[in-house]
Every structure is written in C-alpha cells, then in structure tokens.
Amino acid sequence: GEDVEQSLFLSVREGDSSVINCTYTDSSSTYLYWYKQEPGAGLQLLTYIFSNMDMKQDQRLTVLLNKKDKHLSLRIADTQTGDSAIYFCAENSNSGYALNFGKGTSLLVTP
C-alpha cells in the first residue's frame, strides 16, 4: 500500500514561522489536503491544493506543492499558541473516494 510520510514533531516559538512537510505517493491525486486536529476534537479541513498548482496562500497559511518530488508543505506564518495541534497531510487514494492520511505532525508552539 501507499504511505504518506510526515515528521512526527515540530516545536516553534510563538511568532516564528512553522513549516510542516509531507511526502505523498500517488501522483494521480487531484487534490492534496491539510487537516488540523486539536486535542479531543475532530479533523478540521484547513486547506487544500489542486494538483496543477504550485502554491496556494490563505491568510497565514501557505501550501507549496512539488509534484516532481511528491512533496507538500504547509507554512504557518506568525505561529500562535492556538496553532498547537496535530496536522495531517492527506491525498486521495487511487479510487478517488478514500483519503490516505499521514501519521500527523504534532506542532507545539511555546511562548
């Protein structure tokens, strides 16, 4: 099966930028997604990028996509303590219905 890979932990200081990286496997994915999970909560669709785009910006969030290397990143500018959460990268499966998730990157923002 395919694996979506992410680093497990990231710690940044409040006000700094955070960059969360992901490598995916299915080059036919139409969209690639970032979900946020706060403690005890569900999966919040944070942002997503169409596969024919290189970059998408949405307020403090910037998504970069390198299709050649199958690399996706999420940059959070001016990181706040409220951004502390687990961030999941996801791609569509070969069938298109299921989402394949990475194991999640736990972001800790310290004052």
Positions touching other proteins (CB under 8 A) are 29-31, 33, 35, 41-45, 48, 88, 90, 92-93, 95-104
Cβ proximity to other proteins: between 33 and 79 the closer is 33
* Cβ count within 10 A of residue 40: 5
> Measured from the CB of residue 55, what is the shortest distance to other proteins in angstroms?
18
- For residue 58, the cross-strand partners are 61
- Which run of H or E residues covers position 13? strand 9-13
> Measured from the CB of residue 101, what is the shortest distance to other proteins in angstroms?
4
Q: How many Å apart are CA 102 and CA 2, to the nearest integer? A: 10
> Measured from the CB of residue 97, what is the shortest distance to other proteins in angstroms?
4
